[in-house]
Every structure is written in C-alpha cells, then in structure tokens.
Amino acid sequence: MADPGHTATAPAPRRPSRRALTLVSAPLVALVVVGYVGDALAPTLVDTHPAWLIALNARNRNLVLASNYLDAWTFYGIGIVRLLVSDPLFFLLGYWFGDAAVKWMERRTKTWGTMLRQAEGWYAKYAYPIIFVAPNNIVCLFAGAAGMPLRAFFAVNLAGTVFRLWIIRRFGEAFDGPIDSIVGWVGDNRLPLLVISILAVVVSIALEAKRGESEVQALTRIDTDLPGGDGDGAGGGTGDSAPAGERGGADGDR
C-alpha cells in the first residue's frame, strides 16, 4: 500500500519487542471490555450518567442520546478522547507489521475479511478523505501499514472526529423532542431493558468466540499471531508480512 501523497513506498514493517506489543494490546483489550460494559449498562446510564455512557462506549447512538444532556465541553471533551484513544494503537500495529497486520485483522473479523481486502483499494486512492470520514480501527491500521506521516494522520483524524461530534450535536438539537421521548421511555422501562442489553452483550460475545472472532481473544494472542511479537525487537518483517509498499483500507464501529 503506497503512502498517499508520496511517491516513495512505505517503510518496511518493524518488529516490536514483546513489552512494546503488550503496551499496545493491553489498552486495546481494556477498551473492548469497557465497551461491552457500556453496551450492557446503557439503559441505566443514558439518563442518569450520560457522560459515563459515552466514556465507556462512544457509539453513534450513545452520542446522539447523550448529546442534549451534556454541556458542550463535556460532550466534546469526553467524545474526542474516547473516540481517538485506540486510533494511535492500531496505527502502531499497522506500522510495525505492515501487510501481516492487515491479514491478522482479516482473520479476526472473518465475516468482513473479503470486504476489508477490497477496501484497501479505496484506501490507496482516498486515504485522507476516508480517515476524515471514518477513522475506525481498520482505517487506522491501514494508515500505519501504508506509512502515512504520523502528524498528517493525527491532524486528519482529529479534524474528522471533531466534525463528526459537531454533526451529532447538531442532529441532537434538531431532534431534541424525539430523543427526549426515547430517553424517557428507556428510563420508564429501565429494568427489562437492562436485562435485555446484558443478555445481548453476553450472547454477542459467545457468538464471536464460537466463530473465532472474539476481539479480546484476538488481542490477547497478538504476540503469537503476528510475526515479530516474540520479544526479539529485530527490524524487518518476517513470516507472511509483505513489503508495506505493495498494499492498499476500512472497519469498526465508527
């Protein structure tokens, strides 16, 4: 995958030490877990602790429902941090492992694997607009694998995230009445909805594990599933890792 905007090919994949890889994978596992908690507890948080809801899981629906119950500083502050926190970590995985990281992402999301590989072609042509519009996990990983300049990645990612939150904020204001009705209905039916949401999360995790697509499992095995995660810290790619310049991306909840 060539670096968009540059004629030179992306740098060859680097091999991190086991400690460096753990420093990336451990926060990602924690973010997945708190995301599950946010989904499960959403009915109890949406009207009582909306800031906690978007801090745990900043899904679009949570941002929409919480927007009118938070002041602008809280909404944008928590929203930006929560949406951006995982992006540099996936960028690093792509930067370290190149095409091997893309293949790893395809394996851990088998349902979307073919689509992800096709999306690489779009990313190669429209990298910056894609990062602005949809800076999700896979797009950030592709950016690292392509050798995109770090400053450019952060600048476009931040701008796109702020714009997304601004759109959601305006949407919340435009549909204030219907959103209040939905939040009120959730509050009136909190207990049954809480039970349903917890069961839905548990079933979702079980189905992912059965299909071999569990995010937590994939991230905890990352040091063995990706070449170079063996703690030797040597440079250069191995295994199925192809030169980063031979590639072209998109995923996630965002």
8-state DSSP, 231: S
List the helix and strand counts (H, then E) for the chain. Answer: 13, 0
Is 155 inside any structural domain?
Answer: yes
Is 192 inside any structural domain?
Answer: yes
Does residue 31 contact residue 216 with C-beta atoms inside 8 Å?
no
Query: Taking 50 as the threshold, does the pLDDT of residue 181 lie above it?
Result: yes
- The pLDDT tens digits for 136-165 are 888 898 899 888 999 999 999 999 999 999
Lowest mean pLDDT, pick from 16-30, 37-51, 72-86, 104-118: 104-118
Is 251 inside any structural domain?
Answer: no
State how far Cα 94 lies from the chain centre.
Answer: 13
Is 6 inside any structural domain?
Answer: no
Mean pLDDT of the chain: 80
- When pLDDT is averaged across residues 181-196 and rounded to a whole number, the result is 95
Give the model's confidence band at 241: pLDDT under 50 very low, under 70 low, under 90 confident, else very high.
very low
Is 95 inside any structural domain?
Answer: yes
How much helix, strand and coil, in percent to the nearest 5, is found in the chain?
70, 0, 25
Q: Please count the structural domains in the chain.
A: 1
Lowest mean pLDDT, pick from 44-53, 76-85, 123-132, 179-188: 123-132
- When pLDDT is averaged across residues 179-203 and rounded to a whole number, the result is 95
8-state DSSP, 190: H
- The pLDDT tens digits for 73-120 are 999 999 999 999 999 999 999 899 888 887 777 776 655 555 666 666
- Provide the domain limits for residue 56: 18-229
Is 245 inside any structural domain?
Answer: no
Residue 225's Cβ-side half-sphere holds a number of Cα atoms within 13 Å equal to 16
Is 48 inside any structural domain?
Answer: yes
Is 236 inside any structural domain?
Answer: no
CA distance 247 to 62: 35
Query: Taking 50 as the threshold, does the pLDDT of residue 231 lie above it?
Result: no
Query: Taking 80 as the threshold, does the pLDDT of residue 61 lie above it?
Result: yes
Q: What percent of the chain has pLDDT over 70?
A: 76
Does residue 28 contact residue 86 with C-beta atoms inside 8 Å?
yes
CA distances in angstroms from 44 to 38, 66, 198, 209, listed in the order given: 10, 12, 11, 27
CA distance 79 to 55: 7
